[in-house]
Amino acid sequence: MKTILYAGLIAIVITACQSKENKVADNAVDSTQTTTANVQAQSDTANAYHAYLKLKDNLVKADAKAAQQSALQLVTPLSNIKGCTEASDMAKKIAETADVKDQRTVFLTLSQDMIPLAKGYKTKSAPIYVAYCPMAGNGKGGYWLAAEKEIKNPYYGDDMLECGEVKEEIK
């Protein structure tokens, strides 16, 4: 997300070094492109975040088939965001397996990529919560994003539904 803003600023700086007659027109084009890119990036990030939440909820329910569908909805917005290729690939892996245990293992890594993305997401609605379960990942611990403060653990579902705590609130 910040990369897009920096790229836009670099483009404006480079344009400023051109001849005087092209300077005003080029800056206007760069500004429009930067604004369009920012709007698209925010839209893709919002779509990715909402698809991620559906995936998380389906993993809480241990519904592997629904998790596959949610993961598939996550692939496109992530692939549109610069720097999220690996996260998009992880969503594809979740969509390709019907084993909820395998889905949860990949979700652990996917969440590590989604948290920084969510921190750059400028939401005007409710806060985003970063939750943590010390038991996830074979006792190494694991984070996930949630729209609610109440803990609903996607790594264990009903087995340890309330295992974890909110570590951070993103506003």
- pLDDT tens digits, 112-143: 999 999 998 776 678 999 999 999 999 999 99
User: Residue 111 has what pLDDT?
Assistant: 97
Please give the residue that has the higher pLDDT: either 160 or 31. 160
Mean pLDDT over each residue of the chain, to the nearest integer: 82
Residues 155 and 109: their CA atoms lie apart, in Å, by 12
Q: What is the pTM for the complete model shown? A: 0.78
Dmax over Cα atoms in the chain, in whole Å? 68
Region for residue 112 given its phi and psi (left: phi exceeds 0; alpha: psi -120 to 50; beta: otherwise): alpha
Percent of the chain, pLDDT > 70? 75
Query: What is the C-alpha separation between 55 and 58, in angstroms, rounded?
Result: 5
Burial of 109 (0-12, 13-18, 19+ CB in 10 A): middle
Look at residue 32 and tell me whether its pLDDT is greater than 80: no
Q: Give the pLDDT band of residue 15 (cuts 50, 70, 90).
A: very low
pLDDT value of residue 34: 55
Checking if the pLDDT of 27 tops 60, the result is no
CA distances from 73 to 25, 129, 159 (A): 39, 21, 27
